[in-house]
Amino acid sequence: MKQLNLQKLQNILRKKFLKVGVKMIGPETIFFSKDTKIGKNVIIEPYVVIGQKVRIGNNVTIKSFSHLENCKIENKVDIGPYARIRPGVVLKSGSKIGNFVEIKKSTLGVNSKVNHLTYIGDSQIGKSVNIGAGTITCNYDGVKKSTTKIKDNVFIGSNSSLVAPITIEEDSVVGAGSVITKNVKKKSLALTRSLQTEIKNYKRKSK
């Protein structure tokens, strides 16, 4: 009986949002909460779950297999596919969360991008920031959680680890493959890499 009531509620919510102009491809695969709020010109692809306390602005696209809960999505934001937006997240206008990205208790600034394979936690990210694939904010040391601050116009190279607490100032660059443990100054390049070793004419061991 309870399952039937839940299905009935979902059908009511789907019809409600279709009526106000939300574009849904496969509405039967999309799940809403009673308190979901959605603006104008929103597109939701199949297999999206929207948990409690989610506010979605105008001209937003949420791609397939994404999960949102307790977050605020401003205007002209793209999410997914395969994105997880956890509690305490604010995605500012024009920002983008791509595939296989998890973000928690963080603000992503205007026109900033986290395109793929990344974890962002307990972070404040400014405007026009680009965060490369495989980047993680190391926000938990086993005892407490610390904050990462990334200011405007920062470029974070792929496969970087940002060890909080840390601040990366405006217009700076973090080189790919870096582990950053100290604050980065404005308009600086921060890079931590071992020298590459190459052995000529190397022969692999045979079995």
Active-site residue (options: 116, 129, 136, 158): 116
Quick check: 37 and 22 in contact, CB under 8 A?
no
- How many other CB atoms sit within 10 Å of the CB of residue 94? 19
Q: What is the DSSP string of 122-183?
A: SEEE-TT-EE-TT-EEE-B-SS-B--EEE-TT-EE-TT-EEESSEEE-TT-EE-TT-EE-S-
Quick check: 117 and 131 in contact, CB under 8 A?
no
DSSP summary character for residue 9? H
- Would you call 116 a catalytic residue per the annotation? yes
Positions marked active-site: 116
